[in-house]
């Protein structure tokens, strides 16, 4: 088995996936039709042609516009199940899925409608093939801390159905420190917290996410390589990064995959994981990210095994789940014949 086949076929967890970012243009048009809404694009092709982003904000503008087609519980169910089917094809055994309730409640969609729809999709995947999922509520950092606290109040009756809190949306100008009170309240629920940091924002935002928000993982974190002391800290403290290589290319964090900071992060001993972020918008799902990284870096089986191990270890799955997936990570013995002496 070669390294790419191993990387594609081994059991793994996806830890950085925005469910709204898995909305494919075909499904967007189908939901628009079902809900009697007009999208500001004439066709699937015209919408796809708009996926040409200059930076994070230009992507977010389109991402929030397309989310408008999500109206009913059935819409959120269909979105979730479509993503989970793709995840299954990439041998993802466990997916931790971000959702942005404020994007929906601001349009008058009740929090419970969103949650029930996403849960129903996840329940169907669990019943059909045993898929394991967790839901992480993400706050929109371009909004005020008070608006995010109001969202947390709204989520409070459903805490036993959530598995963590995150922070996403426009990073520059919205540092983690802006959300100190919010995250203190999130941590008081006992659920784990994570945050996007060091995607477009500086390494200082990663320090803030660790020191002020006290996050368990950093989403992206690829700019950590600009700060050697931070890099050493991430390695020493075993903080996992949920890196999204195709997203970083599409949002122009790096110009070329060969310039990505992944090799430096790995060389520093950081717990790197690979994820798809917003696969419908960035050119592919987890398998596509793996192919793109392998084309750039030609890693060996041991490196891919380590990345899969990180994804499982850094997940919020149970100890029993982790043990069974880690057991299945060992690659089959190589069948290559040694040359005779
Ligand atoms: N929301 C969806 N995708 C995001 C990303 N890559 N960064 C910040 N917020 C997001
Ligand atoms: Zn993200």
Is residue 28 within 8 Å of residue 66, measured between CB atoms? yes
pLDDT in tens, 295-314: 999 999 999 999 999 999 99
pLDDT value for 213? 98
Give yes or no for residue 223 having a pLDDT over 80.
Answer: yes
pLDDT value for 333? 66
The total number of residues written for the chain in this structure: 341
Is the CB of residue 18 below 6 angstroms from any atom belonging to ligand 1?
yes
Closest Cα to atom 8 of ligand 1? 169
pLDDT in tens, 123-173: 999 999 999 999 999 999 999 999 999 999 999 999 999 999 999 999 999
Is the CB of residue 97 below 6 angstroms from any atom belonging to ligand 1?
no
CATH number of 3-24+73-327: 3.20.20.140
What spacing in Å lies between the alpha carbon of 257 and ligand 1's midpoint?
19
Relative to the CA of 244, which ligand 1 atom is closest?
A: 6
Of residues 20, 24, 199, 208, which has the active-site annotation?
Answer: 199
Q: How far apart are CA 240 and CA 227, in angstroms?
A: 16
Find where tokens 């076929």 sit.
9
Q: Tell me the whole-structure pTM to 2 decimals.
A: 0.96
**C-alpha dist (Å) from residue 62 to 40, 50, 54, 65:** 10, 8, 12, 5
Per-domain boundaries in the chain: 3-24+73-327
Is the CB of residue 174 below 6 angstroms from any atom belonging to ligand 1?
no
Is residue 166 within 8 Å of residue 219, measured between CB atoms? yes
Which stretches of the chain are DSSP H helices? 3-9, 25-35, 44-49, 56-66, 73-89, 101-105, 111-129, 145-155, 180-188, 203-211, 228-237, 245-250, 262-267, 279-282, 286-297, 301-313, 319-327
Q: How far apart are CA 305 and CA 290, in angstroms?
A: 12
Is the C-alpha dihedral spanning 172, 176, 181, 185 positive or negative?
A: positive
Token output for 266: 């790995």
pLDDT in tens, 56-89: 999 999 999 999 999 999 999 999 999 999 999 9
Relative to the CA of 171, which ligand 1 atom is closest?
A: 8
Is the CB of residue 20 below 6 angstroms from any atom belonging to ligand 1?
no
Residues 6+ away with beta carbon under 8 Å from 204 = 175
Is the CB of residue 242 below 6 angstroms from any atom belonging to ligand 1?
no
Closest Cα to atom 10 of ligand 1? 169
331 pLDDT band, cuts 50/70/90, is confident
pLDDT value for 1? 87
pLDDT in tens, 90-128: 999 999 999 999 999 999 999 999 999 999 999 999 999
Beta-carbon count within 10 A of 265 CB: 21
Asked if 199 is an active-site residue, the reply is: yes
Beta-carbon count within 10 A of 259 CB: 12
Q: How far apart are CA 247 and CA 17, in angstroms?
A: 11
């Amino acid at each position: 088995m070669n390294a790419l086949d191993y990387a594609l076929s081994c059991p793994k967890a996806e830890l950085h996936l925005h469910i709204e970012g898995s909305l494919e243009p075909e499904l967007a048009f189908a939901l628009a039709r079902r809900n009697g809404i007009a999208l500001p694009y004439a066709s699937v092709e015209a919408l796809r042609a708009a996926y040409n982003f200059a930076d994070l904000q230009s992507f977010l503008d389109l991402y929030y516009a397309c989310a408008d087609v999500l109206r009913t519980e059935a819409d959120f169910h269909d979105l979730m199940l479509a993503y989970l089917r793709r995840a299954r094809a990439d041998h993802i055994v466990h997916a931790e899925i971000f959702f942005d309730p404020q994007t929906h409640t601001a349009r008058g969609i009740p929090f419970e409608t969103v949650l029930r729809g996403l849960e129903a999709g996840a329940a169907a995947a669990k019943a059909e093939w045993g898929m394991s999922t967790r839901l992480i509520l993400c706050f929109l950092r371009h909004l005020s801390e008070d608006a995010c606290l109001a969202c947390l109040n709204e989520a409070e009756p459903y805490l036993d159905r959530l598995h963590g809190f995150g922070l996403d949306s426009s990073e520059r100008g919205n540092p983690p420190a802006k959300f100190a009170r919010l995250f203190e309240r999130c941590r008081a629920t006992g659920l784990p917290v994570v945050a996007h940091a060091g995607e477009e924002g500086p390494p200082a935002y990663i320090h803030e996410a660790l020191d002020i928000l006290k996050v368990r993982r950093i989403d992206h974190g690829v700019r950590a390589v600009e700060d050697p002391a931070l890099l050493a800290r991430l390695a020493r403290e075993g903080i996992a990064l949920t890196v999204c290589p195709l997203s970083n290319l599409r949002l122009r964090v790096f110009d070329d995959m060969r310039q990505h900071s992944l090799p430096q992060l790995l060389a520093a001993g950081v717990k790197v994981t690979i994820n798809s972020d917003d696969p419908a918008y960035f050119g592919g799902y987890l398998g596509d990210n793996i192919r793109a990284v392998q084309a750039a870096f030609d890693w060996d089986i041991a490196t891919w095994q380590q990345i899969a191990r990180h994804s499982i270890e850094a997940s919020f799955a149970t100890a029993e789940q982790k043990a069974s997936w880690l057991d299945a990570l060992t690659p089959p013995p190589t069948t290559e014949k040694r040359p005779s002496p």
